[in-house]
């Protein structure tokens, strides 16, 4: 799924150009050492939280790791999202064996309620 697909999906459930959501940007690195190094670097250069997660298992001897950068609320316009994606791709390009995977929105309970229920409280 591309960033454009994610943005289109958000549009379909009612999010527009004026809405803001925190975003998670996902990177994959080959091992835990690389993940720790990248997370430490990101924590010092970008105003965002960083998490480390093991990647889904594969048929390889080593399990890759995911570095997840969570941003503050970001405007959901194609220009803003495209700029953030390019920034993340550039970050990945600076590191050996790092791959930018994509992004996902962070939905809180109020967002989910907005999606599932109409303003009158009935299911959407």
Mean pLDDT of 25-52: 91
Decide yes or no: CATH 3.40.50.970 for domain 3-114. Answer: no
CA distance 29 to 13: 32
Sort 124 into a burial class: Cβ within 10 Å, 0-12 / 13-18 / 19+: exposed
Mean pLDDT of 61-81: 90
What pLDDT shows up at residue 109? 73
What pLDDT shows up at residue 88? 94
Residue 94 pLDDT grade (very low, low, confident, very high; cuts 50, 70, 90): very high
Q: Which residues pair with 21 in a beta bridge?
A: 74
61: Cβ contacts below 8 Å, ≥ 6 apart = none
Mean pLDDT of 6-27: 90
Average pLDDT in the chain: 86
């Amino acid at each position: 799924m591309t960033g454009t697909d994610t943005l289109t999906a958000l549009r379909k459930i009612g999010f527009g150009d004026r809405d803001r959501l925190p975003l998670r940007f996902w990177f994959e690195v080959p091992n835990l050492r690389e993940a720790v190094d990248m997370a430490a670097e990101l924590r010092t250069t970008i105003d965002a939280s960083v998490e480390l997660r093991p990647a889904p298992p594969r048929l390889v001897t080593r399990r890759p790791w995911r570095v997840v950068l969570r941003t503050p609320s970001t405007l959901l316009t194609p220009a803003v999202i495209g700029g953030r994606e390019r920034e993340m791709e550039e970050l990945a390009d600076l590191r050996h064996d790092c791959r930018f995977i994509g992004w996902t929105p962070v939905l809180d309970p109020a967002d989910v309620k907005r999606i599932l229920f109409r303003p009158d409280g009935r299911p959407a």
